[in-house]
Chains A and B, each alone.
Chain A
Amino acid sequence: MEGWPRFLLAGDFGLLVEFGDKIDPEINKRVREIFITLEKFPIDGITEAVPTYRSILIFYDPLKTSPDQLQQKILALEKRSREVTIPPPETIEIPVVYGGDFGPDLGFVAEHNGLNQEEVIEIHTSGIYLIYMLGFTPGFPFLGGLSERLFTPRLKTPRDVVPAGSVGIANNQTGIYPIDSPGGWQLIGRTPIKLYDPKRENPILLKAGNYLRFKRITGAEYEEILQRS
């Protein structure tokens, strides 16, 4: 894309490489491609790289490299990324019990959008959601792709504790709370899957650049999955 990437200093050990200025699946795809290429061909002096909605944040060791050097190497890497086979993104299925005690705001979301609860579930489970970025709490996914028919404002007063696994909607976003935390999203269901488990070999289940679907399950299936994990 013309004029991109853009390189911005983030202090004396951070460099922000921006690939666009919008929330856009194509821009995020480019971020994923460069990030994977960077994992394959590490650049000397880079200590950590973080993919975001539309940029990659790079941390570097100032004794080993400089933003000028990094800029040249990243531009070269960008060319190289076109020759590298990038594996297609994966799609992970998240089982959810909708409504009831697990989704106390399902009724409000339905009413707000002139739908019945079944229709909300139907629309929510038929979408495919791009995981743009993780952050806020460990493994919290910033998802794109929520149907306009479900857009609902945040709660007027946030809850002090939203239980881990809660699935919610806030304006044009939908997401899952990985840990118990305060929160103002409208809760429509809950998953028994742990997005974050520090004792697991891969503590974080999701990865930026991949996709996610929601699948409706019953309370009994919820218990069964919980027992198994």
Chain B
Amino acid sequence: MEMFEVLQPGLYTTIQDQGRFGYLQFGIPPCGVVDAFAYRISNLLVGNEGDEAVLEATVLGPVLNVLEDGVIAITGGDLSPCLNDASLPMWESVPVKRGDKLSFKGPKKGCRAYLAVGGGIDVPPIMGSRSTYVAGKIGGIEGRPLAKGDRILKGKRYGTLGKRVPPELIPLYSSNPTLRVILGPQDDYFSEGIETFLNSEFKVSSKADRMGYRLEGPVISHKDGVDKSIISEPSVPGGIQVPPDGQPIILLIEQTVGGYTKIATVISTDLPKVSQAKPGDKIRFEKVSLQVAHEVYRQKEQLFQEIEDSISGA
């Protein structure tokens, strides 16, 4: 059934789910949401199975005309969501009625918001996913960001009302996050460069999108006499590439291969912090061991379980 009509698409709004996995060997990147934690919670709140497609809005959200009564939940960065000009609470499921107007007044905190709808956004899956991959022209609506006049369909299920995330469990999106990293896979191409990398502040440049975040800061130097590039290899989301100019790039989920050295990799638990950083924000890096990263991963999964229990128990 038709759920929304797009009155204004916003800066960059796409339909995404958890991602398209298993196709990187063919040159197709995973895509999917960049802030997986906020995404999963948005689906939980409206009573979805968990892997349904949602809208990912960036900085300036869309204006949507509601075509059908339903349940929505908005999570992620606070882009000031409004329903008919009244501010709309985030991190909880709320009803919308046919004829309502949903809009976003501008970014307050973070960079990307997720809008889930009970029943899930209904577009045909391609290679096992509904995620929009713009360069490959697949997924979402015609493989592109939303455009004015698009009509967005949803699945049959209505959804669950009155579900909310306890305030103390809502992620804080800092504008100067510290990202935990595991060194490598090519940290042996650097010596003092590693000190520069771990002890400096880097500014998010205006070149920050779903492919990657270019950062600006002190030059991270390679070891004398080593190659600054490697034989091209597939990218891992969170990989931090250092090209010959010494300015790092955090690779995200719409990358396939790269030929520059990667000094370190952001741990998966901290990828949402990257996705919520805006141009101008300041980033620092902190080295952790694999054991610590895996412990943090387990804690994050426990937190998610706690939120799920709290929502389904409420």
Which A residues contact B (CB, under 8 angstroms)?
8-14, 16, 21-23, 47-55, 57, 59, 62-63, 66-67, 133-140, 142, 178-179, 181, 196, 198, 203-204, 208
Q: Are B294 and A8 in contact (CB under 8 A)?
A: no
Tell me how far the C-beta of A69 lies from the nearest C-beta in chain B, rounded to whole angstroms: 12
- Give the top 9 A-B pairs by smallest Cβ distance, nearest first: A11-B265, A135-B257, A12-B293, A204-B26, A8-B185, A135-B256, A14-B236, A134-B27, A135-B27
In chain B, residues 224-250, which have Cβ atoms closer than 8 Å to a Cβ of chain A? Answer: 231-234, 236-239
Chain A neighbourhood of B233, CB < 8 A:
16, 52-53, 55, 57, 133
- Whether the Cβ atoms of A12 and B182 lie closer than 8 Å is yes
Please name all residues of chain B whose beta carbon is closer than 8 Å to the beta carbon of A135 when the two chains form the complex.
24, 27, 232, 234, 256-257
**In the complex, are the beta carbons of A62 and B231 less than 8 A apart?**
no
| A177 nearest CB across to chain B (Å) | 12
Point out the residue from B23, B25, B183, B232 that lies within 8 Å of A142, measured CB to CB.
B232
| 13 A-B pairs whose Cβ atoms sit less than 8 Å apart in the complex | A10-B184, A12-B293, A14-B265, A48-B22, A50-B234, A51-B25, A52-B257, A54-B231, A62-B293, A66-B290, A136-B256, A140-B27, A181-B135
Let me know if A138 and B27 touch, CB within 8 A: yes
C-alpha gap A67/B262 in the complex (Å): 19
- Enumerate chain A residues within 8 angstroms of B156, measured Cβ to Cβ: none
Whether A134 and B184, one on each chain, are in contact in the complex, defined by CB atoms closer than 8 angstroms, is no
Interface residues of B in 131-175 (CB under 8 A from A): 135-138
**A204 contacts across to B, CB distance below 8 A:** 23, 26-28
Q: Let me know if B301 is at the binding interface, CB within 8 A.
A: yes
Which residues of the partner chain B approach A53 to less than 8 Å between Cβ atoms?
231-233
The majority secondary structure among interface residues of chain A is: loop
CA distance A22 to B68 in the complex (A): 58
Which residues of the partner chain B approach A12 to less than 8 Å between Cβ atoms? 182, 265, 267-269, 290, 293-294, 297
Bound Cα distance A51, B234 (Å): 9
B137 touches A179 (CB 8 A): yes
**Distance between Cα atoms of A136 and B255 in the complex (Å):** 8
B265, A139: Cβ atoms closer than 8 Å: no
Question: Cβ of B136 and Cβ of A138 under 8 Å apart?
Answer: yes
| Interface contact B301-A133, CB-CB below 8 Å | no
Contact A11 B257, beta carbon cutoff 8 Å: no
Residues of B within 8 A of A55 (CB): 233
Does B11 sit at the interface, judged by CB under 8 A?
Answer: no
Contact of B239 among A11, A47, A51 (CB under 8 A): A11
Partner of A10, one of B21, B126, B239: B239
0/1 interface trace, chain B 1-41, chain A, CB 8 Å (1 if under): 00000000000000000000111111110000000000000
Determine whether the beta carbon of A9 is less than 8 Å from that of B28: no
Q: A11-B268, A136-B256, A198-B136 are in contact. Are A57 and B236 (CB under 8 A)?
A: yes
Asked if A198 and B27 make an inter-chain contact with CB atoms under 8 angstroms apart, the answer reads no
B27 and A52 within 8 A (CB): no
A13 with B268: in contact, given A48-B24, A179-B137, A198-B126 (CB under 8 Å)?
yes
* Distance to closest chain B CB from A45 (angstroms): 12
B266 at the interface (CB under 8 A from A): yes
The answer to the question of B303 belonging to the interface, with a C-beta cut-off of 8 Å to chain A, is no
- Give the residue name and chain of the A residue nearest to B188 (CB): A8
Q: Which of B192-247 contact A (CB under 8 A)?
A: 231-234, 236-239
Q: How many Å lie between the Cα of A208 and that of B256 in the bound state?
A: 14
Name the distance in Å between B229's Cβ and chain A's nearest Cβ.
13
Say whether, besides A54-B231, A138-B28, A9 and B256 are in contact (CB < 8 Å): no
Interchain CB contact under 8 A, A62 and B297:
yes
Is the CB–CB distance between B301 and A63 below 8 Å?
yes
- Give, as a whole number of angstroms, the nearest-CB distance from A10 to chain B: 4
Q: How far is the CA of A62 from the CA of B26 in the complex (A)?
A: 24
Inter-chain CA distance A140–B239, complex, in Å, is 22
When distances are taken between beta carbons in the complex, the residues of chain A under 8 Å from B262 are 10
Partner pick for B27 among A13, A62, A136, CB 8 A cutoff? A136
Chain B proximity of A79: nearest CB distance (Å): 24
Whether the Cβ atoms of A9 and B182 lie closer than 8 Å is yes
Interface centre among B127, B136, B268 (most CB of A within 10 A): B136
* Known pairs A23-B231, A134-B25, A204-B27; A10 contacts B135 (CB<8 A): no
Answer whether residue B97 sits at the interface, using C-beta atoms and an 8 A cutoff.
Answer: no
Within the assembled complex, what's the spacing in Å between the Cα atoms of A53 and B257? Answer: 11
Bound complex: CA of A139 vs CA of B127, how far in Å?
14
User: Shortest Cβ distance from B209 into chain A, in angstroms?
Assistant: 16
> Are A133's CB and B232's CB within 8 A?
yes
Interface string of B258-291 (1 = CB under 8 A from A): 0000100111110000000000000000000010
